[in-house]
Amino acid sequence: MKNMFDLTGKKAIVTGAAQGLAHGMAEGLMEAGAEVAIIDLSAKIGEVAGAFCARGFRCHGVQADLGDVEQRERAFNEAVSAMGGLDILVNAAGVQKRHKSEEFPLSDWEFVLNVNLTSVFHLCQLAARHYLAHGGGKIINIASMLSYFGGFTVPAYAASKGGVAQITKAFANEWASKGINVNALAPGYMATTMNTALMNDPGRNTEILSRIPAGDWGTPDDMKGPTVFLASDASSYLHGAIIPVDGGYLSR
């Protein structure tokens, strides 16, 4: 049973891994034995990769703006070339913009949808083309609680994460029979920079915590196990699933 979760020799791409949940997911994959290429807009991505390497992991840092189609494709190809292949793709990069819906700028709508949904669609395509030529692989998309709910002052984010859940299912329908597992994780309320405003709002913080049976905000470490599960042989018959990692929030 232990060997089902062993990722030794596997090669993974994790986007958005300079910090936050994606950083934790990349770390979890490396702890399970995988070699990982981390792609991020941050100029510190090389430092982050170097820090992982200093701990004995095999990690490659690739800087790119995933909202730019040419940079996105270049980064994907660079990552695959650096590792000599690809077995796992984790689409974890994401952005957020908040405005009242009636005032939401079209430019912010397009920015959020481009990074959170269009880039995920494109990277899934690129990975699938590689997998179809090399016997299969894993795709792990990152959905959200807003794949289920509408949220408040975040219509673009809600639309993008609803879209991520649906393309995960759509891709699974086409690729499951071809050796490609496409699934998604839906993080709950996580203690990351994206949620700093909520955590610092006493009213909203209390409201959110009161609905989480586990009693606390999640952390990047809480994403490690589910990510390794979806990346491993343990999930070989799982296709098109959206798995909440939310401390029980949806059950309340």
Residues that are catalytic: 157
| Alpha carbons 156 and 178: distance in angstroms, whole number | 33
Beta strands in the chain (DSSP E): 11-15, 35-40, 59-63, 88-91, 137-142, 180-187, 242-245
Separation of first and last alpha carbons in the chain:
32
* Cα–Cα dist 215/209, whole Å: 6
Cα–Cα distance, 205 to 250 (Å, whole number) = 17
- 118: its two tokens: 């269009």
Strand order in the sheet with 180-187: 59-63, 35-40, 11-15, 88-91, 137-142, 180-187, 242-245
Is residue 88 within 8 A of residue 12, CB to CB? The reply is yes
Burial of 76 (0-12, 13-18, 19+ CB in 10 A): buried
Alpha-carbon span 243 to 143, nearest angstrom? 9
